[in-house]
Amino acid sequence: MSVAESALAAAVLEQEAENATITQGVVESNHTGFSGAGFVNYDNVVGSSVEYTINADAGGEHDLTFRYANGTTVDRPVSVTVDGTGAQAVSFPGTGAWTTWQTRTARVTLKAGPNKIRATATTANGGPNADKLTAVLAGPPDNEAPTPPRDLRFVSSTHNSVSLRWEAATDNVGVVGYDVYQHGQLVTSVGNVLTATATGLRADTEYDWTVFAKDAAGNVSQASNNVPGRTRPAPPDGQAPTTPGSLRSTGTTTTSVTVAWTASTDNVAVTGYEVHVDGALKQTADGTATSSTIAGLVGGQEYRVKVRAKDAAGNLSPFSNEIAVRPGQGGGTGIPNPGTVKQVVGGVDVAWGTAFLPDGSALVTERETFNVLRVTESGTKTVLGKVPGAQGTGGEGGALGIEVSPTWATDRFIYVYHTYSGGNRLVRATFDGTRLANWTTLLDGVPKNRYHNGGRLRFSPDGRYLFISTGDAQNGNNAQNLNTNAGKILRVHPDGSIPADNPFPGKAIWSYGHRNVQGLDFDSQGRLWASEFGNSRQDEVNLITKGGNYGWEPCEGTTGNCAGTVPPKKTWSTSQASPSGLTIINDHVFVATTVGQRIYRMRIDASGNLVDQQIYFQGSYGRLRTVEVDKEGDIWLSTSTDKDGTAGNDRIMHIDIVYEGGSRLSSRAITD
C-alpha cells in the first residue's frame, strides 16, 4: 500500500451498531447478511435511536455511511445529529427484504477526537435495521471503483439456498460490501465479508452466480468470475396437491380461449399449474393463478383442455375435469390477438435485436456471436458478418439492438448498439444487400458491466431522432448521475449529434433514473414506452417523458423512496417478468419476458394507462427476448436460452396476429 493509500485508509472509521448506545431497540441476528455480531432492530416508535461514537483523527467534513436493511415498503427516516446539534434528515427506503442490506450517506462536520453521532427515528415506524456506521474524511470525489472480487466459488447448498465464497476486492479507500447476483438479478447483499448465503431458491435448480464489490462512495466493481451453484433436491414430499376444481371456459376470441379453475392446495405449496390441450402440455401458469389464456388457436376448431397442479418436489395432482372449448368471435375492432405460431428459423444464438428491411426480411443480431443475420420469413438465414470490435461480458453484453434507417432508400444505413472494450457504443454501417461496410462510431463510452448494458434502439415515428436505452452498468448511482449516459434513455440525431432541444443542454440524455431498459416503442400518439428490469422486487413499463426521472435508485417500481419521480404504468414481480422486448400494435403493448417465459399484452387507454392485461404462451417456448411487429402486422418472437452455455439453440418464431373485426395494423410498422 502506498503512503497516499495508507493515509486514506487511516481516515476510514466505523462502529458496529450492536456496540453503540441503543435507546428503545434490541440487538438481533435473525436476518443474515449483517457484519459484526448482529444488528440493531429499532423499536417502532418515534425517538428510538442508535448513538455511535466515532473517534476522528482530524476535524473536518466526513461522509457518514449507514448500512441498513428495511424489508417493508415504507421509508423509515431518522434525524442525524453530531454531539446533539446539526440535525439532518436521512431517508431509509425499503431494500426489498430484511436480508438485503444497502447504504445511505450523510455529510457532517466532525471534530478531532470522539464524536457522538445519534440516528433517531422520526416516525412511528421506528428506524431501519441498523448494521453499522462508517465515517470517511471527505476529500476529493472518489470515482475509483473497487477491483473485482476474485475466485468466486460454490461452497454448499440446501434445497433452497446456496453458499458462496470469494477472495477480497481492493479499493483506494475501502470496500464496504458485496452484492450477490444470480444472472443479473440481485439476490442478497453482505458487508465487508467474503461469504454469503442466498436463500429462497427453487429446489434442484442450477443458478449462475456473480459477485460485485462496492465502496462507501457507491462505486461498484466489475464482475467477479461467474460460477454455477445448484440447489439440492427438495426434502421428501410424497403428497401431491389437490385436484384443481371446476375447470370452465370464461372467454374467447377468434384465436384464444380463457379457462378458469378453483385453486388447488398442498401440504407445502402449489408452485404452478400445467395446462394441457388435446392431451399434450401446452403452457404453464403461476402457482397463485386460477386462470389461463390459451392463444395461438384456430377459430371454430374444438379443443379439449384439462389442468393439473404441481409442487416444488415435482408431485403432480390428478387432472381437473376436461372441457371442450372453441375459439369464437370476441373483443372489439382492431384488437390484435396472437394466432398460430410457426418457427421461422432455428440454430440462432440469443437473437437480441430484430429490424425489418423494406422487402420484409429481418436483420437480426446474435448477442453472443456478434453476427448480423439476414432472415427471411421462408426460413433462409444468411450471416452478413460480425460487428467489428464487439465483445461479450459473460452476461448481458455483446451485439444488442439494431435499427434500419428511416431513409433507407437513399442512405442504406443500419444502426447497431454493442459492447466493446471501452464500454457500449452506437455504430452505423451501410448495407448493399450483400455485405456490411463503412462502420462508423456515432456514440461511445457508455459504461458497461457483466449485466445492465441496456441496448434497445428505436427511431421516432418521424425518423428525425434515434432513441437508445442504456443500463446502469451494475452501479445504481449512475442512473441519477447526469454526467454519465449509463442508466438512461438517450436521444440523438441519426448522425449521432445531440439535438438542441434535448432536456439537458449538450447531453444525449432524454430521461434518467433507469436500471436496465431493454424495450422501446412508440404508440399511435407518438409517445415513447419502455420496459425495464427491476432489481429484486418489481419490473416495470414506463411512459417516457422528456427529462423525466424514473427513480432508480432508490426507487424500484413503486417501492422505496419514489418522491418526485415518474411512476410506472405497470409493474410485475421480478419472478413473473424480467421484461426485455416491447412492441406496440394498435395501441396494445406486447412485452416479452425472460424469467416469466411469457408475453404480456396490455391496452393503452384514453388516460395513458395500461389495462386489460392478457398473458400468452407462458412456459411454451422458454425464455423470451424480443418481440417485433413486421410489415404485415404480425409478430416475430425470439427465444433466449442464454443460461445453458449451449450455442445455437435459440429460434425465431412468427406469430400470426388476427385483428378482431378485421381491422389491420394502424401503428408504427406501417410507416417504418
Q: Which residues are catalytic?
A: 452
Judge whether 516 and 448 are in contact, CB under 8 Å. no
Find the DSSP H helices in 412-523. 477-480
Judge whether 230 and 218 are in contact, CB under 8 Å: no
Dist. CA 181–CA 209, nearest whole Å: 6
Query: How many other C-beta atoms are found inside a 10 Å radius of the C-beta of residue 502?
Result: 18
Residue 229 burial class via C-beta count within 10 angstroms: exposed 0-12, middle 13-18, buried 19 and up: buried
Instruction: With H, G, I as helix, E, B as strand and everything else as coil, classify residue 610.
Output: strand
For 316, the grid coordinates are: 403432480
HSE-CB for 209 with a 13 A CA cutoff: 35
Query: Residue for cell digits 390441450?
Result: 277
Residue type, 434: T
Which is it for the CA torsion 270, 271, 277, 281, positive or negative? Answer: negative
Strand partners, 111: none
DSSP letter string, 135-196: EEE--S---PPPPPPEEEEEEEE-SS-EEEEEEPP--SS-EEEEEEEETTEEEEEESS-SEE
Could you give the CA distance from residue 106 to residue 65 in angstroms, rounded to a whole number?
A: 7
CA separation, residue 134 to residues 12, 206, 264, 332 (Å) = 7, 36, 50, 60
Closest by CA position to 603, among listed 516, 536, 541, 558: 541
Residues 6+ apart with CB under 8 A from 606: none
Cα angle for residues 376, 623, 582 (degrees, 5° grid): 65
In one-letter notation, the amino acid at residue 93 is P
| Helix, strand and coil in the chain, % to nearest 5 | 5, 50, 50
Q: Which amino acid is at 617?
A: F
Answer for the pair 591, 531: CB distance below 8 angstroms, yes or no: yes
Backbone torsions φ then ψ of 653, nearest 5 degrees: -120, 155
How many residues are recorded in the chain? Answer: 672
SS3 state at 84: coil
The residue type found at 122 is T
CA pair distance 102, 92, nearest whole angstrom: 9
Strand partners, 599: 592, 616
Identify whether the C-beta of residue 471 lies closer than 8 Å to the C-beta of residue 450: no
The span from the CA of 398 to the CA of 450, in Å, is: 10
